[in-house]
Structure 1
Amino acid sequence: MAGYAIAHLHDVTVGPELIEYLERIDATLEPYGGRFIIHGARPDVREGDWSGDLIMIEFPDLGAAQAWYESPAYREIIPLRANNSRGALLLIDGVDRDHRATDILA
């Protein structure tokens, strides 16, 4: 099943460092089969409050997401993002295509 990297970023400062990060991140994803699913879209908030930016990257599995995050190429550019934003980044398993809500009760 797919694995995901999900970031919820706030107070993003778009300057030379963040531009460099954006120019370099795609090359770090390629070896691990990563691709952007959500990046920079403005949400249509229906319930609750929302602020910040949501980024979602899909990988073939959680192991690939973990290998990408720990890769020297990605570790090298993390400060370019982290020094110009605040927020959380997590790696998480997806679910199978036939997943149903009640499956978590098993």
Structure 2
Amino acid sequence: MSAYVVFTRESTEDSAELDTYMNTVAPTFEGHPIKFLALYGQLDKLEGNGPEGIVILEFPTMQAARTWYDSPAYQAVAAHRHKGATYRVTIVEGQP
């Protein structure tokens, strides 16, 4: 069953660190079955305070999503994301 990793950027703290993350994250996707569904597209905030940006990645399974997220390659790059911005990150299982 498909799984979705949802990155919600709440606020940017250090744009240089965030730029480093954005410029180095692509190689972490190699060898992983990822489909990009949303990449910081236009937001239409309907209720409440909306985030700065949203990314949605599709994986074939929850395990495939965790394998990428927990990989040493991604975690090394994610350190820049942690320094650069406040995010919420969630993996949600899709419907059959």
State the TM-score, normalizing by the size of structure 1: 0.78
**Cα gap change, 1:40/1:27 in structure 2, threshold over 3 Å: closer, same or farther?**
same
Q: Which structure has the bigger radius of gyration?
A: 1
The RMSD of aligned alpha carbons is 1.5
**Between Structure 1 and Structure 2, how many residues are aligned?**
94
Q: In structure 2, what is the equivalent of residue 100 of structure 1? A: none
Report if aligned partners of 2:11, 2:51 keep a CA contact under 8 Å in 1.
no
Q: Which runs of 4+ in 1 moved over 6 A?
A: none
Partners of 2:58 and 2:87 lie apart in 1 by 19
Question: Which residues of structure 1 form unaligned runs of 5+?
Answer: 97-106
Q: In structure 1, what is the equivalent of residue 51 of structure 2? A: 51
Q: In structure 2, what is the equivalent of residue 66 of structure 1? A: 66
Question: Which residues of structure 2 form unaligned runs of 5+?
Answer: none
The residue type paired with residue 48 of structure 1 is: E
Deviation at residue 74 of structure 1 after TM alignment: 0.4
Higher relative contact order (CA 8 A, sep 6+): 2
State the TM-score, normalizing by the size of structure 2: 0.85
The residue type paired with residue 67 of structure 1 is: T
% same residue = 23
